[in-house]
Amino acid sequence: MSNDEPFGVYVHWPFCMAKCPYCDFNSHVRHGGIEEARFLDGYLSELRHFGLRAPGRAVSSIFFGGGTPSLMRPHTVEAILDAIASHWTIADDVEITLEANPTSVEAENFAGYAAAGISRLSLGVQALDDASLKALGRQHTADEALAALGLAKQAFGRVSFDLIYAREGQSLEDWRAELTRALDYAADHLSLYQLTIEDGTPFAARHAAGTLRVPESDEASAMYLLTQELCEAAGLPAYEISNHARPGSESRHNLLYWRGHDYAGIGAGAHARLTENGVKRALSTLKSPEGWLTQVEAEGHGLCGDEALSRQETAEEYLLMALRLTEGLDLERLSVLSGRAIDATRLDALEGDGLLARNGAQLKATPSGRLVLERLILELAA
């Protein structure tokens, strides 16, 4: 690892106005209010800890995720950005993203976030009709979402928004119409996720009980392929399985993860990857916001996991992440990380099946391979 490699900072705000029934992220609802000033002090303490562990790095991307970071006051965001700049060099072209929900209340803060230093906004739209939004547990209407998108385009240089497809009752033609409409509003980036049923969520309970019926796998695959076709035609090709962008507008923070670079992660439930003395380390913080804060106040950090990854584990993580990218992975880098080359016979067989494509040292999944990506990763990691 070189100090010249990209380095990011992830800030996790673990609070939401309501918990969506499909969500298994580390997010919490606190109807009694949040001691935001106290949490800010916690973030500043944890940043000091990471600043000491990763000195001399140049930050190329900062990402406020959640939870719902647009529930933070702009002042809190600004104070965190100032602290990051006090511990590391900030690249001239740094990308600073904040995730936001498009409620009218949160949209009122967009100008404040821009003034604080946010340069890119990612809006959690999820659907463009009110019935679907209600079924997904969202707190905004379709009209609010489009109004917020308009405000975001005025306030920020770069804007992305998310949609979920393969929802309950959704047909292929329904998705064609919705995505076509979304592309009319798109700026430079879209994140388009197939609904997955996550263990422990209300949707999982309903699915197990037979009261939540989502499209069958063949129809969901058809929706995925249609997504690629429509976005490509609109000038927003996929650069990762679920992410589409105009060339040059890809999320740098996402690319940092998928290319296997280092990043600090602060806040309850955050993860981080740091290379120390040539060894990649996987770090994680306590998921309970109050538990995290109590530990930070006592120890200066909220870490509950800090382990060295073996060469094989580091290589497998790189394989898992990079093969999601349209650009694929670097076979030479993978060999350096693992200490061995992938079996050539296995590569030839998968390439012969039309699932992988090679261009020199670059290896990527074909469109057919993306539909069976888990199988590919398992075979290549064996």
Token output for 348: 């030839």
Both structure tokens of 181: 């409409």
Same domain, 134 and 213: yes
Last residue of a domain, one of 256, 279, 296: 256
Report pLDDT for 339.
87
Share of the chain above pLDDT 70, in %: 99
Is the pLDDT at 1 greater than 60, yes or no? no
Residue with the bigger pLDDT between 176 and 339: it is 176
CA distance 89 to 107: 30
* pLDDT value for 371: 87
Range(s) of the domain holding residue 365: 311-382
Task: Give the bridge partners for 274, in sequence order.
Answer: 281
Per-residue confidence (pLDDT) for residue 2, from 0 to 100: 59
Q: What is the DSSP string of 297-343?
A: HHHS--EEEEEEPPHHHHHHHHHHHHTTBTT-EEHHHHHHHHSSPPP
Phi, psi (degrees; rounded to nearest 5) at 123: -95, 130
**In contact, 22 and 132? CB cutoff 8 Å:** no
88 in a structural domain: yes
* Paired strand residues for 98: 64, 121
Residue 381 pLDDT grade (very low, low, confident, very high; cuts 50, 70, 90)? confident
Say yes or no: 225 and 342 in one domain.
no
- β-strand partners of 244: 190, 238
**82-91, 204-213, 337-346: which is most confident:** 82-91
Instruction: Give the mean model confidence (pLDDT) for residues 211-228.
Output: 94
Give residue 342's pLDDT: 86
Tell me: pLDDT of 219 over 90.
yes
Q: Is residue 280 part of a domain?
A: no
Which structure tokens are listed for 9?
């900072």
Query: What are 269's two structure tokens?
Result: 């439930």
**Domain boundary pick from 226, 256, 286:** 256
Q: What is the pLDDT of residues 27-76, one digit of tens each?
A: 999 988 899 999 999 999 999 999 999 999 999 999 999 999 999 999 99
pLDDT tens digits, 335-377: 988 888 888 898 999 999 999 999 989 999 998 998 898 888 8
Residues belonging to the chain: 382
How many C-alpha atoms does 325 have within 13 Å on its Cβ side?
21
Phi, psi of 174 (to 5 degrees): -60, -45
Q: Mean pLDDT across the chain, nearest whole number?
A: 95
Is 2 inside a domain boundary? no
348 & 247 share domain? no
Does the pLDDT at position 317 exceed 70?
yes
Contacts 24+ apart (CB under 8 A), 276-281: 276/53, 278/1, 279/308, 279/309, 280/1, 280/308, 280/309, 280/314, 281/306, 281/307, 281/308, 281/309
pLDDT at 125 over 80: yes
Task: Tell whether 372 and 239 lie within a shared domain.
Answer: no
Coil, strand, or helix at residue 140?
coil
**Res. 306 pLDDT band, cuts 50 70 90:** very high
Residue with tokens 């995925």: 224
Total structural domains within the chain: 2
Q: Which of 256, 278, 300 is the last residue of a domain?
A: 256
Please state the φ and ψ torsions of residue 140, each to the nearest 5 degrees.
-125, 165
Angle at 251 between CA 267 and CA 145, to 5 degrees: 80
Residues 318 and 235 in one domain: no
What is residue 56's predicted lDDT score, i.e. its pLDDT? 96
Task: Note whether residue 357 is domain-resident.
Answer: yes
| Percent of the residues in the chain that have a pLDDT greater than 90, as a whole number | 88
